[in-house]
Amino acid sequence: MRHPKIDEMLRSCLLVLLASSLAGVARAQASRVALTPPMGWNSWNHFHCGVTEDIVRAQAHAMATNGMKAAGYLYVNIDDCWQGDRDAEGNIQPNSKFPDMKGLADYIHSLDLNFGVYSSPGPKTCARYTGSYQHEVQDAKTYAAWGVDYLKYDWCSAPQVYSPDQMQAAYRKMYDALLSTGRPIVFSLCQYGLQQVWRWGPSVGGNLWRTSGDISPDYTRMAFIGFEQNGLQKYAGPGHWNDPDMLEIGNGKLTNINEERTQMSLWCMLAAPLLAGNDLTNMDSQTLGVLTNREVIAVDQDPRGVEGHRVTQEGPLEVWVKAMADGSKVVGLFNRSVGDAVMEVNFSDVGIYGPAKVRDLWEHKDLGTMDRSFSASVPRHGVVLIRLSVPQP
């Protein structure tokens, strides 16, 4: 007969081993999320705090039926303004605009889509709703119970309770809480590029991290943010991505097709998350066509996960390149000027020495084999996006 203390020790050891095994499974699952940049929709850019459960359901249905899901868009994310108060046990409750978060998640999952929410490491969100400060483990458990697949975690009021040197620990605290649930949840760090987050984002569990301030629906702001990403490419790769903020395609002043194509092309060259921010239930065929161009999306979703970079610049004319898994190179000729311009790329500048087959990704057209360079007329605020492939002998 064993001594009771031995049985107690054995039970303790088994519990430790089980906990360690579960933690290992959770870490393994977490390492498999966001192997390509997340694609989906976020409520903030168009609806702001006017978002409701009915609106989110309608956006999810639209995504599932208008060709976006088929093109790779999977996440339906509620941004700020969904939170209510905490109950007597401290559990976060949604507000009256979201009467049934579990039911909403179940509906989104029934469409074979994923569900995302938003919070802050501070006591309040940016819109002054309830944050996760001192309730990280509780909130993570609640999110997992609802069926959450994505968490955007916005710094907002955190400076009220954390010093700058505690930022990494604050994000790590929520990542550990998410891991403890055993549910794979994409972890999106939103702190506007502070403290060179791209250098430490992976170490606190980030799958993506904001590299800039907030975007707005106009060409000037979009272009400033997008083209300033050059130099960050070495910090991106499968499972961890630089995030220059959401797409404004179909919103505000960004409705000219050349400007819409510029953001889509540049974000895909950057291997950036593609989170649409427009009203998916009310968009024209032009905007839908830009958002669902399979050849352009393939640039973003390439499994090699290389982020593109600038290779030449002549005033407002920029040439960018992105290396693809199949050995081809995608080249973007971007015209940031106020008039049309003829632009050229020398193949040697993008690592191709000799002839290359040229395909126009927006026009879905093979342009033939060219010797040492390619040139095209690029409209103002527009782009020509081509894929260069070396002919096989």
Residue positions annotated with a catalytic role: 154, 214
What is the edge-to-edge ordering of all strands in the sheet holding 39-42? Answer: 241-243, 208-210, 186-190, 150-154, 114-119, 75-77, 39-42, 274-276
Cβ pair 200, 162 in contact under 8 A? no
Paired tokens of 27 = 């870490």
Collapsing DSSP states into helix, strand and coil, what is residue 189?
strand
Task: Report, in angstroms and rounded to the nearest whole number, the Rg of the chain calculated over CA atoms.
Answer: 23
- Euclidean distance between CA atoms 188 and 177, whole angstroms: 14
DSSP string, 62-84: HHHHSSHHHHT--EEE--SS-EE
Can you say whether residue 323 is alpha, beta or left, with left for phi > 0 and alpha for psi between -120 and 50 degrees?
A: beta
Residue showing tokens 């507000």: 95
- Euclidean distance between CA atoms 387 and 322, whole angstroms: 9
Cβ pair 167, 153 in contact under 8 A? no
Question: In this structure, what are the phi and psi dihedrals at residue 118, rounded to the nearest 5 degrees?
Answer: -135, 145
Cβ pair 338, 380 in contact under 8 A? yes
The beta-strand segments (E) located in 36-149 are 39-42, 75-77, 83-86, 92-94, 114-119
Residue showing tokens 């978060």: 101
CA quadruple 331, 337, 338, 339: dihedral positive or negative? negative
Paired tokens of 23 = 């933690």
